[in-house]
Amino acid sequence: MACPCLWIDRGGRRAYAGAMRWDALFDDMEAQLAARQRLDFEAEIAERALVDSAGVELADRLRGSLGLSIRVHLFSGPVFEGVLSHAGSEALVLDEPQHQVLIPYAAAAQYGGLSRVAVSEPSTVRRRLGLGSALRGLASKRARVTIFLSHGRAEAALHGVIDTVGRDFLDLALTREGEDRRPANARQVVAIPFGALASVRSVGAAGG
């Protein structure tokens, strides 16, 4: 009966021709185990990422993109592009070359150019400042604004100064474009629900 022939491999280890290479078998098993462990680890990381992202709000995602140039596509059609300078609880502010634009989150259909970072708001006070707070700030400065409505034509802009801001609406004193608010030139005052706002572009303070 033929017997396996003994030979010495380059590593100085004994082996037999035609015999099982146990070291190769163990190496293969170890590689398979490592591959399974790597897949399990990657699956666990992916699952944790899904759980973590489930608690991320849109405002957190936007705060992670402060200082970046982004695009905001509105449901009503217009697209605004500028540097994201503020992300509140209900609205954001874009810095354009000449103006600033306040856009309620409810008016935006999609965002482009956001980073993958999410940053929560640590300040309880800032978390409580909503769309109404931003509009009251514009009203207190008597800033001239241009308002686009969420269900109106892009060219049908309303120009004027915000007189008062209620809980869910604002009163806009209509003026001609570029004019300050004065009793003599205010054509009429219209009430606009917050839900109808697509964007509010701040043109400048009264007398500026």
> pLDDT at position 22, please?
65
* CATH topology classification for 58-204: SH3 type barrels. (2.30.30)
Residues 6+ apart with CB under 8 A from 43: none
What are the backbone dihedrals phi and psi of residue 3, each rounded to the nearest 5 degrees, phi first?
Answer: -115, 150
The CA distance from 171 to 159, in Å, is 12
Residue pLDDT tens, the chain, 208 long: 555 554 445 555 555 455 556 666 667 777 777 777 777 666 655 555 444 567 788 888 899 999 999 999 999 889 999 999 999 889 999 999 989 999 999 999 999 999 988 888 777 777 777 899 999 999 998 889 999 998 766 557 899 999 999 999 999 999 877 666 655 556 689 999 999 999 999 876 554 4
> pLDDT at position 50, please?
44
